[in-house]
Every structure is written in structure tokens, then in C-alpha cells.
């Protein structure tokens, strides 16, 4: 029986919920991922990102709602869904005593890739991920970034239409993270749809659309540039000779979520109807006179902090 649903969406998530005991890890999530796009799911630890990813991969069944992946329901056709996706969990199952090439061949066997098609696919993925020079190195001897690239290559060996990545660059150095994202964008050019969760908001800027999760709920979903337009008031970058002391003074005066330190510079969300001059005067009055104050463009982190202030319990 063919229950394929004709849809122009790679993923459709419908009123999704998952309960563990009396706790709802995910509740009332509705979103869709277009074919051929990179969609990012962001949020803090415990927001429900991994639970959504596991349900999209058919590893975990929803308590309520449904997910349609490439036209098939994860509830009624989980095995068909698994054939259509590549899924890379936070702890992807590489085998340390196998070489890079042996790991790739092992996953080829799992997906029952015909031998006659295997060599070309392996060569392409090794080249794609820049692992060709290391194909005879054991996986346990790879760097963190190279392990993630190998995990990605193994997830792609069966040429899936949809790739699900659960925080794939967590704990990876910035250079390897950048290289990993270059590979993702190359894959999209070849027609693969990427659904990725991340706690790095700078990575979310690389996505075509972003969904923000807070305490199991989807709070916002749009293009990064449009999400930034939701910020009211101005963002100030404040230089100080004692950023820590200045930050504490600002938080005491304006609230703990009003400011943070990024690369040694205080980012401050200025209340409406205030001016940089007024903030400077108040800081002087608090004994933490700034070295400089400049207006800055909002980032997704500013948007996320704003949403965190509004979030309520499930």
C-alpha cells in the first residue's frame, strides 16, 4: 500500500508533541522545511531540539501530532522515512578501530549499497569532505572536526534526499565548524535538504530559515534577516576598562537579560525612549563610565535573548 503524500515540502511537522512521564519535552510544534534549503533549529540545552530531530528521524515516536518526511509519515512508514534520510546524531556511531574508508564501507553495507556503485560514491564523499589523504587512518586517531566530517560522509553514503543533523559541530573548533558548513552548502547545491539543530547562533545565520525553540515550544520561525527586524529598541556596543564590573552594574539597573559580554565588548539592549547619551550618563553615575558607546546591528543572539524574556512554562 502506497501512502505517499504529494507535497512540495521536504519536512512537514504538524502539532508535534512528545511526553516523557508527566513532562512534555516538545509541545505544539508546527513548521515546514522547503526542499533544497538549510533550515536551522536553535535553542538552549533542554529546549527540545534533539527530541524533534529524533522524531523526524523515526527513532522516537511522537506522543501527538505527526511528521511527514519526503512525503511519508514517520508514524505509519518509519522504515521508508529512514531510507530517505541521512541522520547524524550528537554521538554518531563511528568505529574507532576501523579506518576512514572502512567506516564508510561499513555504512554502505548497512544501507545495502550495490558494490558496483560503491567506489564512485566513496571517492566523491572522501573528496567532498577533504578526507581522501586520511582514508587509511583509524577513526579514533582523527581530530574532532575530521570525525564530524567522516560522520557526515557516512550519513550521505546512500544519497539521501533529506539530511538531519543534531548539533553536528558541538565542541568542534571554529575552523572545522566553518569547513563543515561549507560542505553543507555544497550539498544543498546538489539538491539535498538540510535540517540542522545548533546552539551556535552564528551558525544559524548561515541558514535560509531559522526556528527558535524555548522550553519545548517553537517561539519564532523566519529568515534570519526578518527575525532581526523584530527587535525593538537599539543594540549598543559598550567598551569598558572593566567589562565585568560594568556588566554587573547594567544588569542590576536594567535586568539580568539586558546585556552580555561578547569578545570583551558589552552588548546592551537599550530600552525604548532612551538614548546612548542617557545610558552613558547613568553609567557614569554608577561609577562604571564607558570608554565608548556605539549603536550596533541586531544579531540572532539578540533576538533569542528577547524571546527568552517572553517565554513561559509549558
Residue 150 lies in a domain: yes
**pLDDT digits 0-9 by tens, 23-32:** 999 999 999 9
**34 lies in the same domain as 175:** yes
Instruction: Kindly tell me if the per-residue pLDDT of 150 is higher than 90.
Output: yes
Are the C-beta atoms of 33 and 8 separated by less than 8 Å?
A: no
- % of the chain exceeding 70 in pLDDT: 96
Residue 284 lies in a domain: yes
Residue 269 lies in a domain: yes
**27 lies in the same domain as 173:** yes
**79 lies in the same domain as 222:** yes
**176 lies in the same domain as 259:** no
**pLDDT digits 0-9 by tens, 159-186:** 899 999 999 988 888 888 888 999 999 9
When the pLDDT of each residue in the chain is averaged and rounded to a whole number, the result is 90
Are the C-beta atoms of 214 and 48 separated by less than 8 Å?
A: no
**13 lies in the same domain as 115:** yes
- CA 49, 50, 54, 55 dihedral sign is negative
Instruction: Kindly tell me if the per-residue pLDDT of 313 is higher than 60.
Output: no
Rounded mean pLDDT, 140-158: 92
Rounded distance between C-alpha atoms, residue 159 and residue 84, angstroms? 8
Residue 308 lies in a domain: no
Instruction: Kindly tell me if the per-residue pLDDT of 309 is higher than 80.
Output: no
Rounded distance between C-alpha atoms, residue 314 and residue 102, angstroms? 46
Rounded mean pLDDT, 252-271: 83
Rounded mean pLDDT, 264-292: 91
**264 lies in the same domain as 193:** no
**CATH number for the domain that contains residue 160:** 3.40.50.300
**CATH number for the domain that contains residue 274:** 3.30.70
**267 lies in the same domain as 174:** no
Residue 302 lies in a domain: no
- The predicted structure's pLDDT at residue 7: 79
Instruction: Kindly tell me if the per-residue pLDDT of 312 is higher than 70.
Output: no
**140 lies in the same domain as 239:** no
Rounded distance between C-alpha atoms, residue 52 and residue 47, angstroms? 10
Instruction: Kindly tell me if the per-residue pLDDT of 1 is higher than 90.
Output: no
Residue whose cell numbers read 505544539: 28
Confidence tier at 245 by pLDDT (50, 70, 90): very high
Residue 45 lies in a domain: yes
Query: Containing domain of residue 277, as a range?
Result: 235-297
Rounded mean pLDDT, 234-253: 92
**219 lies in the same domain as 170:** yes
Rounded mean pLDDT, 137-156: 92
- The predicted structure's pLDDT at residue 97: 95
Residue 304 lies in a domain: no
Are the C-beta atoms of 243 and 294 separated by less than 8 Å?
A: no
Residue 248 lies in a domain: yes
Domain edge (last residue) among 204, 228, 252: 228
**152 lies in the same domain as 21:** yes
- The predicted structure's pLDDT at residue 96: 93
Domain edge (last residue) among 228, 256, 289: 228
Tally of domains within the chain: 2
- The predicted structure's pLDDT at residue 259: 79
Rounded mean pLDDT, 48-65: 96
Domain edge (last residue) among 211, 228, 245: 228
**174 lies in the same domain as 33:** yes
Rounded mean pLDDT, 258-262: 79
Rounded mean pLDDT, 134-153: 93
Are the C-beta atoms of 86 and 17 separated by less than 8 Å?
A: no
Amino acid at each position: 500500500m502506497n501512502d505517499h503524500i504529494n507535497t512540495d515540502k521536504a519536512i512537514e511537522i504538524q502539532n508535534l508533541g512528545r511526553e516523557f512521564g508527566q513532562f512534555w519535552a516538545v509541545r505544539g510544534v508546527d513548521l515546514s522545511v522547503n526542499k533544497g534549503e538549510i533550515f536551522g533549529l536553535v535553542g538552549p540545552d533542554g529546549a527540545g531540539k534533539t527530541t524533534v530531530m529524533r522524531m523526524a528521524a523515526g527513532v522516537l515516536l511522537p506522543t501527538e501530532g505527526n511528521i511527514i518526511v519526503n512525503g511519508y509519515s514517520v508514524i505509519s512508514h518509519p522504515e521508508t522515512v529512514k531510507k530517505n534520510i541521512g541522520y547524524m546524531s550528537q554521538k554518531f556511531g563511528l568505529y574507532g578501530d576501523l579506518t576512514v574508508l572502512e567506516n564508510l564501507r561499513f555504512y554502505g553495507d548497512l544501507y545495502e549499497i550495490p558494490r558496483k556503485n560503491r567506489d564512485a560514491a566513496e571517492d566523491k564523499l572522501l573528496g567532498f569532505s577533504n578526507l581522501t589523504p586520511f582514508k587509511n587512518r583509524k577513526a579514533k586517531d582523527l581530530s574532532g572536526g575530521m570525525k564530524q566530517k567522516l560522520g557526515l560522509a557516512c550519513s550521505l553514503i546512500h544519497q539521501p534526499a533529506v539530511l538531519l543533523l543534531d548539533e553536528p559541530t558541538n565542541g568542534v573548533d571554529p575552523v572545522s565548524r566553518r569547513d563543515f558548513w561549507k560542505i553543507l552548502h555544497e550539498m544543498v547545491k546538489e539538491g539535498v535538504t538540510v535540517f540542522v539543530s545548533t546552539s551556535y547562533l552564528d551558525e544559524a545565520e548561515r541558514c535560509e530559515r531559522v526556528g527558535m525553540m524555548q522550553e519545548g515550544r517553537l517561539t519564532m520561525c523566519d529568515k534570519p534577516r526578518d527575525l532581526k527586524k523584530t527587535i525593538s529598541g537599539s543594540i549598543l556596543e559598550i567598551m569598558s576598562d572593566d567589562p565585568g564590573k560594568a556588566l554587573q552594574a547594567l544588569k542590576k539597573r536594567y535586568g539580568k537579560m539586558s546585556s552580555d559580554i561578547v569578545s570583551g565588548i558589552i552588548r546592551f539592549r537599550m530600552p525604548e525612549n532612551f538614548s546612548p547619551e542617557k545610558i552613558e550618563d547613568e553609567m557614569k553615575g554608577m561609577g562604571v563610565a564607558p570608554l565608548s558607546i556605539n549603536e550596533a546591528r541586531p544579531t540572532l543572539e539578540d533576538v533569542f535573548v528577547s524571546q527568552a524574556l517572553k517565554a513561559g512554562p509549558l
